[in-house]
Every structure is written in structure tokens, then in C-alpha cells.
Chains A and B, each alone.
Chain A
Amino acid sequence: MVKNYTFTFSSRQVTLYHKKIAIHDCQSIRMQGDIIVVSGKISHKDKAQGLLPANDVTPTTREIVWTWLKIGTIGFGGGYAVLDLIHSELVIKHGWLTEQRFENMTALSEMAPGALTVNLLAGIAYRLGGLWAMIAATIALILPSFLLIVVLAGAFLAWQNNLVVRYAMEGLTAGVVGLLIAVVWDMVKRIPGHWCCFTVGIAALFLGLVFPVNPVWLVLMGGLAGATKVLVLALVAKKSAKGGPNL
């Protein structure tokens, strides 16, 4: 929580998270509740209207680890459901990062492989406390699930021939198939409505169903197809620009 403002503009330097940021061409500064809104150019990032925390609210590594442990313990449901939890914990409750930074970070995490929430929280932890905080926080985040799944795995493997356990697992597996279908549905809606994308998707579906291809190759081919499309378009644009009468 931000309480007192120890924010010196005379030096034109403020501490934002663990980085020093200089403000040039400051256009306006106003107070808005607990934060100071600064519009201007901020060094090392592009021109921005930044919401800078009024105080040095950089959390210690211990605070980060505790918060991540909490999220890892109560973050049931995964994916976008946990996104709300993360937002309310880090942006609203602790004020460790701004709304805009949170959005940027979410977009960034979608580009990295792996679970969105893990990537997002790793990125935020890195921003707040550096490399070691990121590693420690990620361990804290997955520790509760890790312990739980080890216990469950032991129990399942010991009793997997029990009738009730077998039926419970059959129910669970059916539920997971349902979830996967829903996930695919969501993804298809997010795919840009271009014929190239649909062709790639249908080709991958066909290849994967007919031949036992390693999915890694399919992912690589998808990336390659996307890159090729852009390169070809760029080449065509260049050629038409050269041959065109107007240019």
C-alpha cells in the first residue's frame, strides 16, 4: 500500500520497480488518489502516459515469494480464471504494477511457450525483483500443485485397480476431453479469419490424424508457414512496387 510520497522531481529521477527511469519533457503531473499521474516521455520506453507509483513500492523478494505462493495455492481453474485473481492481487491490492503494464505483460506472456499464468507471473517477478526473484517466485507458485499432485499420483497408482477409483478416473478423463474441446473452440474463435490460417489448421489436423507425426514438427511447420506467408507478401509487394506505373 502506498502511504507517503517520497518522490523527488528535482532530480528528475524516480524509482519505478527496480529500475531508474528519467522523465523528460514532463507535460503534466497530477495526483490521483494514491498515485501520481505523469504524462511525458519516459526514458528507455516510448512516449507514454505512465502511472507511476508515488512511493517506492518495490516489494522485497520475500513479499513476492509469499504472494506467488498464495496465488499458487488458491489459483484453481487455471488460465483466464486465474488472470482475474492475479490482477486483483498484484494490481489492485498491492499496486506493484500498473494496469497498462499488466496488459503489456499479458500480451508478452502469450508469445512465450507454456502456461499463460506461469509466464505472466514469471515476467512480473522478473520486473519486480530480477532474475533470482523470478526463479524463487516460480518455485513458490508451483510448489503447492507439485506437492498435491505427488500425493494424488501416489494414491492413484496404488489404487488404480480399485473399482471406484477407476470409475472416478473415467469420469475425470471424459471431463478433460470436454475441456479440451472447449479450449479448441476458444482458440478457433481467436484465429484470425484468413484463409491461410484455416488451411494451415486443416492441413495440421489431417496430417496428425492420418500419420503419427510428432506434434513438435506440426508446430514448427505452422510457424514456418506463417513466416513464409509474410515473406512472400513482402516480395510480391516489392515487385509490384518496382513494376507499378505510379512508383
Chain B
Amino acid sequence: MNIFCELALSFIKIGFFGFGGGFAMIPLMQSVAVHQTGWLSPSQFGAAIALGQVTPGPVAISATFIGYKVAGLAGAVVATAAIFAPSLLCMYLLEKFYLKVRGKEITQAIMHGVLPVVAAIILIAAISLCRQSTHSVWQAGVIAAVAALAISRRVSYGLLVAGSMTVGIVMAFICR
């Protein structure tokens, strides 16, 4: 199959199933880009997600990185369009039929079933990311510190990401 078709199809699928916020897309992207196709190595995937956090936009922008890695600038455009298209389509449909689905018990129940699953798959993605690309004590420290600070909500996500990158750079000079 043409690489662009493959990118478009994969990311449209991810876009449709990313219920529960942008972070829900991370396990789906990992499954496709690392486990199924091998487009990215585990550490490159870590970089894709990390860079997605550095930019002002949503997490889903990591798709751009993957598309760029696989097929250059055109790949980046295709992947980005594909991952955001389902969101737009769903918002359009929800706007049109909002009154029909709002407050329906079944809609609520489906979301209640999906939410725990999304929490579980994000946790699985975190575990596999951790297993594949962290191998030193200082990284464990960064994980614990970032998790604690993010949960306490005292520091913004952008700042935490910048901080963990700084720690990495400092460690490069220490360990060399």
C-alpha cells in the first residue's frame, strides 16, 4: 500500500478512537507506530511524544512527528490532517444532533465504560515507554518528581517538560 494511504488510514483510526482526551491517543499511536509497523524505535517514539508536549498545541500533534519521520513534510501534513479530521467530524455531528444524544442514559453509560479503559491503556503505554527507554536512576527520579508535581497541579505541564529536558542536558555533562 502507498505509504501516504497507510499513514492516513492509521491516523484516522487513531483519531476516531481517541476518546477521553488527547492523551488517550498516545497508546494508540504507540501500538501502530512502534509495535505494528516499526516506523519508530521506542526511544524515537518517546521523543515524538515529548516534542508534542514542548509545542503549544495538543498532544495529538505528535502524529506530525511520526508522519515527518516516515514520509517527510508531505507525510507530516497527511498524518496531521488525518488525526484531526475525526475530531472535527465528530464535533460537527455532535453540534447537529446534540439535543438527541444529550442526557441519554446510553451515551453516558458508554462513556463510563470507556473512561476506565482509557486510564488503563494510558497506564500501559506509560509502563512500556518506561521499560523501553529509561535505564538509569536519575530518570526514575525525574518520573517521580514530574508525576508528583503534575498531580499537585502546582506547575504547568509545559514547564515540567522543559524542566525534565534540562535535567537530561545537565546529566549529559555530568555523565560524560
Residues of A within 8 A of B (CB): 72-79, 81, 108-119, 122-123, 126-127, 131, 134-135, 138, 141-142, 144-146, 148-150, 152-154, 156-157, 160, 163-164, 166-188, 190-192, 194, 196-198, 200-202, 204-205, 208-209, 212, 214-216, 218-227, 229-230
A3 to B106, alpha carbons, bound, how many Å? 45
Minimum Cβ distance to chain B for residue A202 (Å): 8
Is the beta-carbon distance between A183 and B110 smaller than 8 angstroms? Answer: no
A221 to B19, alpha carbons, bound, how many Å? 13
Minimum Cβ distance to chain A for residue B54 (Å): 7
Query: B22: which of A78, A152, A160, A181 is its contact (CB, 8 Å)?
Result: A78
Is the beta-carbon distance between A76 and B115 smaller than 8 angstroms? Answer: no
Which B31-74 residues have a C-beta within 8 angstroms of A?
31, 35-36, 43-44, 46-62, 64-65, 68-69, 73
In the complex, chain B residues whose CB is within 8 Å of the CB of A118: 22, 58, 60, 84, 87
Is the beta-carbon distance between A183 and B122 smaller than 8 angstroms? Answer: yes
Minimum Cβ distance to chain B for residue A76 (Å): 4
Is the beta-carbon distance between A187 and B171 smaller than 8 angstroms? Answer: no
11 examples of A-B residue contacts, CB within 8 angstroms: A115-B59, A148-B55, A153-B68, A169-B43, A178-B146, A179-B161, A182-B150, A190-B115, A205-B120, A208-B124, A209-B124
In the complex, chain B residues whose CB is within 8 Å of the CB of A134: 88, 91-92
- Judged by DSSP, the binding face of A is helix
Minimum Cβ distance to chain B for residue A178 (Å): 3
Residue B127, interface by CB 8 Å:
yes
In the complex, chain B residues whose CB is within 8 Å of the CB of A182: 146-147, 150-151
Which B111-130 residues have a C-beta within 8 angstroms of A?
111-127, 129-130
Is the beta-carbon distance between B61 and A222 smaller than 8 angstroms? Answer: no
Residue of B nearest to A197 (CB): B116
A35 to B119, alpha carbons, bound, how many Å? 42
Residue of A nearest to B124 (CB): A208
Is the beta-carbon distance between A181 and B117 smaller than 8 angstroms? Answer: no
Is the beta-carbon distance between A178 and B134 smaller than 8 angstroms? Answer: no
In the complex, chain B residues whose CB is within 8 Å of the CB of A176: 46, 49-50, 53, 129, 161, 164
Residue of A nearest to B116 (CB): A201
A112 to B124, alpha carbons, bound, how many Å? 23
Is the beta-carbon distance between B116 and A177 smaller than 8 angstroms? Answer: no
Residues of B within 8 A of A (CB): 13, 15-28, 31, 35-36, 43-44, 46-62, 64-65, 68-69, 73, 76, 80, 83-84, 86-88, 90-92, 94-95, 98, 101, 105-107, 109-127, 129-130, 133-134, 136, 139-140, 142-147, 150-151, 156-161, 163-169, 171-173, 175-176
Given contacts A152-B51, A176-B53, A222-B114, 11 further A-B contacts (CB under 8 A): A113-B15, A115-B21, A122-B92, A126-B91, A134-B88, A138-B84, A174-B164, A187-B20, A187-B119, A224-B113, A227-B109
Closest 10 CB pairs of A and B: A171-B168, A226-B113, A175-B164, A178-B146, A145-B57, A201-B116, A222-B117, A182-B150, A173-B46, A167-B172
In the complex, chain B residues whose CB is within 8 Å of the CB of A227: 106, 109-110, 113
Minimum Cβ distance to chain A for residue B59 (Å): 6
A163 to B170, alpha carbons, bound, how many Å? 11
A185 to B15, alpha carbons, bound, how many Å? 23
Is the beta-carbon distance between B44 and A164 smaller than 8 angstroms? Answer: no
